[in-house]
Structure 1
Amino acid sequence: MITSRRTAALPRRTLLAWGALLCLAPAVQAQAPAWPTKAITVVVPWPPAGPSDIAARPLAKGLQDLLGQPVVIENKAGAGGNVGTAAVVQAPADGYTLLVTSSAPVAINASLYKKMPFDAAKDLQPLTNVLRMPLVLVTHPGSGVNDLAGLLAQVRSKPEGMVIANSGNGTPQHLTAELFRDAAKLKLDHVPYKGSAPAIADVLAGHVPMMFDSLAAIMPHIKSGKVKPLAVTGAKRSPLLPNVPTMAEAGVQGVESYAWYGFFAKAGTPQPVVDKLNATALQVMKSPEFQRVLAETGSEYVGDTPAHFAQFVKTEAAKWDRIVKQSGATID
């Protein structure tokens, strides 16, 4: 009997051991492979040396240092950011092709273009906001105004209104001006340019009296005295321009707007990769090197969770959709 009980017990232990191994096998097979194991491409859907590069290049360098793989910037401009963004959407959802862009292709263009090559809300996975800086309304020093109240009075004194430059139809600069025009009940005629630089050039020359632009783009000309800042569009004053009021402080409510640059992957990217990209990006953004970028651009730390950033993008898209429809702006 003793022998038969021992003989009967052995198969049970063996079966239990095999059962444990069988249970472990699916878990081992389900583990995602190590990531990253090769170079990562960060697509910037704008020309080189533009404002998006201010966000993308220090972020890419920090990611490369922390992830231990090359991170290459690829500028792929065209169609208001749609070309480069579409390239990311068409790439595999594996975390090796990423996107750093301004708000246009992810929160504005769907309202401007009759046909889009992607659906940003469905085709992109938000990772985190990277930079967020207010815009500033500037005027030529020869305009004869010293503050926003003076500018409002000047515009309202002209039956035909005045013109305002912008960096292109549907850009944040253009739509912020529309937001301002609506909030202040002004008559403003927009003069669209092919980019911020030529618009700034005409304001500097006095050909156009005013424009909105990001602090990163216009700050050198403010420092040199070639343009005069009247108000910033943030919720609070910029540390770069502590003596310049916000729009609300200057008497115009409802004009809160930012030039922001976000970090995205393709929708469907494995969650462990999304989490690692988010955590690593936040680590980069807290570094002394990136903090200098924030200080130089008048930005604030805007690191966020993917879920919160997705909600922010959704809110921005709804806001600009209303302004686009109200203004009648279109690209097609």
Structure 2
Amino acid sequence: MAGQDDQKLNFNFIRDIAPVSSITRQPQAMLANPLFPAKTIPEFIDYAKANPGKVNMSSPGIGTISHLAGELFKMMAGVNLVHVPFGGNGPALTALLGGQVEVSVPSLPSSIEYIRTGKLLGLAVTSAMRAEALPDIPSVGEFVTGYEVTAWYGVGAPKGVAVEINAGLADPKLKARLADFGGAVFALSPADFGKFIADETEKWGKVIQAINIKAG
């Protein structure tokens, strides 16, 4: 997100960095404390609309993917959630587990065991499709049309550097390992990866501008 929320950078990511390869992508998970009355996304939206400004949403900090995923949900679902930033993913999840906040949108790998053991309620995953590791949990997009958020990882290099790493992403063991944690192999050609980066930059730029995030 640096290219969107920090105007002090001395380079332009889209202009100066050549996409080499995407590697993996993973959804966030929209989680609630098990004592929260809403148990599904439709119930959650109804509750939030009936109680504007009374549902607290934790995140690891301002401008993190967890924060922005929540802000995009607020915009697209038309609800008013109160953002409560913490100094890291651990404290944000601890607050949710302890009932100090009602909802959070952490990465699925960081929270999947809490869902599996029932310590936290998985309302939905934020990817377009359901996660292979949790097939019974719906995606947010099943209820909020067009909603999709994934954290993705890839390799970029200064333009003119030739690197090829996509072949290793076909390893079945890698695919299985990523799936177990809620992620997936994300192998795009350099050209397609470049378009994906440009689309993501535009998408999140709109969210960042809408909520007026500025780099500190």
TM-score range, shorter chain: over 0.9
Q: Conserved in 2, the CA contact under 8 Å of 1:130 and 1:262? A: yes
Q: By percentage of residues, which structure has more helix? A: 1
Question: In the alignment, what sits opposite 1:61?
Answer: none
Distance 1:256 1:294 in 2: 19
User: Is the CA contact (8 Å cut-off) linking 2:32 and 2:120 kept in structure 1?
Assistant: yes
Q: Give the distance between the partners of 2:205 and 2:195, measured in 1 at CA.
A: 15
CA distance in 2, matches of 1:292, 1:308: 24
Aligned pairs for 1:143-222 within 5 A: 143-222=36-115
1:125 paired to 2:18? yes
Is this contact kept in 1: 2:52–2:81, CA < 8 A? Answer: no
Counting matched residue pairs gives 216
> Which residues in structure 2 correspond to 1:3-152 (within 5 Å)?
108-152=1-45
Shift of 1:167: 1.6
Give the CA RMSD over aligned residues. 1.5
Select the structure of larger CA radius of gyration.
1
1:267 lines up with 2:151 in the alignment: no
TM-score normalised to structure 1 length: 0.62
Task: Return the letter of the residue paired with 2:175.
Answer: Q
* TM-score, L = length of structure 2: 0.93
1:226 aligns to what? 119
Distance 1:303 1:176 in 2: 23
SS at match of 1:320: helix
Output the CA distance in 2 between the equivalents of 1:197 and 1:330.
24
| Structure 1: gaps of 5 or more residues | 1-107
Equivalent of residue 293 in structure 1, options 177, 181, 185: 177
**Helix, strand or coil at the partner of 2:28:** strand
Deviations 1:203-255 (A, max 9, x none): 11111111112211110111121110011111111111111111122x21231
5+ residue gaps, structure 2? none
Q: Does the CA contact (< 8 Å) of 1:169 and 1:331 recur in 2?
A: no
- Corresponding residue SS for 1:262: strand
> Which deviations, in whole Å up to 9, do the C-alpha atoms of 1:118-147 show, x marking residues without a partner?
321123221111111121100000112211
